Structure 1
Amino acid sequence: MVDWMIYDDAHQALICKAHGYAITNLAGHLADTHSNLDLKTRKAIVGEYLGLQINRPPDYNFQFGPRNSIPVIDGLTIHNGFACKNYEKCRYLTTSRKAVRVHCNDEHDWTWTKADPVHWEGVKLQTFFRVPGNAIHYFCVVVPEEAGEDVTDKRGRPKCQLIDDIKEQWAHGKEQQENLQKVLADGASRHETTNWLNRAEWIVHFKERDLSEIHACSRMPGREDDYLRRMAAAMDRLFFGRCIDGLKSMPLMTRHLLASPHQLDAHSRPFGPLQEKTSMDRNLIYWTRFLCYCLNVLHLDESELFEKHGFRFAAGQRESLGKLWEHLQNEDWSEEALEDELLGVSASFWM
């Protein structure tokens, strides 16, 4: 058996140490994420684990919070996360500071004050699966402290406490500014009745839906959104490094045909990039935000997605986005392969 694959007998889970999560389809996992192995080797590995009982551990068996954390499960990635102070009631765990803040505001009517700047605590989390959606189920674990590790300053405070306090105050100020902008936008929206909006019926379509939530899902990735930032960087390289620069090596006649609205007639001017780079940057941001939006709502099932956002993914789009999200979390997945995958995912929305 290979040393980077672990079978956890207690949970009947097969864990890939190279990627830090459990797998249920070994053959598919090897083909997708260990493509450096030849077919014969992959078949041999599948044969070695063929007789093992492999199940997906049920979520109800892993209700472990800050007060009843379990030892680290070997092979699974350890995440820095947050647990709601009302965990015993809501069972809320996440790796996103922004998400736990929204949860505390919405579910527990918590608001930021100097006396109570946070309504959560930092924890160490693991999950058996990392694919977006219901498969992600975090549970708290206890990580053995490294010998001699100094985690406090001279006053006995956590080293990161001051930084966290500054971040919380900054986030509070930003939230107040966003609320003010929302009030102004609500007032201005009464006059936004252009012919195009009337024809497209966007106002009617989104009338009963929360536009602030839709806007939040479509933002460019922030500093805490590591995986989405990786996607945005790959999209930038794909757009300028391969699409724009690729036009230089394209035959001139092909570019004339691409520029023409008619299938068999060439245009007088060849197809090319926009003259202003600011225009290209703006269009790239539009598409990057769209992909961020798709990944941020991917965890919703079809009925909830349509109810909250008013659309459904076409056949194959949800699956391709799920694979993209998994590969964004895989540090071993090459940037070139990621760019190819982004091109394929984008094409699924264009064609």
Structure 2
Amino acid sequence: APIFTVVGNHEVMGRFSMEKDLNSQFNDPFPRAAAQAIYRQKAEQLNPDNDPNYYQDWLKNNTYNTDTYNEIFSLPNGKPYYAVTFGDIRLVVLYITNIWRTPSLSPNAKGRYQEREQDLDNPIAWGYGQHIFEPVSKGSPQYQWLQAELNSTEFQQAKYKIVMLHHPPHSLGDNIVPAYTDPVQIIERDRAGKVTAVRYEYPKDKDYIIRDVVPLLEAAGVQLVYYGHSHLWNRFVDGNGIHFLESSNVGNSYGAYVGEKKRPVPNGYNENYSATGDPNGLEPVMPTIAPLLGENNQPLPYIASNDLTVFSIFDTGTGIVTSYRFDTRSPNSDVIKFDQFQLRLRD
């Protein structure tokens, strides 16, 4: 059977190094714009012959790449975003992911909201927050490709229109915060001009998924958006009838942030970062068949467990999406069907 894959943050390798191990390299991507600025300053020294191939290799080695992913999988158009038709489905796969950084505000944390104190005088060591790997904002090449795909005959004639990406548009999980946008860098200095802090803000009104991508999907009649990243199961339905399904509870869950459980978000920043719930305003749908029960014996609208694994199956004959859970602690136990919903056919 074919496997249709999507690039997530774990498929992107950071800066190449002969001194650092692979895990350190993986956690060390560098924004292309910042690397290009460094290159321009050192171009005559680095590339005196102005060889374009050298430049491309240098840029890749000093930023990030998906080489291993590309070597393992054969992508339809040679790009990390693509669309395919199989049966009644038109599947659109987007490259929407950013580097994961810790939310910690410890002085030693190279995080999503700040740089480490020890790196303040060394910009080459900065992490630049949760920077985005491939633009999808309005006008970007991927956005223009998506517009063309949604207007294509193949897409418009498909019975079922499904979009898959890694980063969540809606979630109770941790990784949906902060907003999916380019980090806004704020450098603080003392009177002598010495850098005393570097922090990052993420304006919520500039979330590229919610602001730019979702309106395209709504207008095009997409029925299902499928994604992961926060390592839990939850689903949502918006006012246009689009189902949003995050079916990625397969161990190492980051939890669901509802009630008294709060995300680690900064206080005193310019932006307001949602500590609980879906920051983009939807309420989760309660599983329709057999929801788990919480400590107060009330049904839970999510599964966030390191003991249970969850998977979802779409039956194209009926248009029904069914989610199942399995307790890995009991290998001989039955799989439990806990949620089911039907994709509505669009005119």
TM-score, normalised by the number of residues in structure 1:
0.23
Larger Rg: 1
* Structure number with higher helix proportion: 1
* Structure number with higher strand proportion: 2
TM-score, normalised by the number of residues in structure 2:
0.24
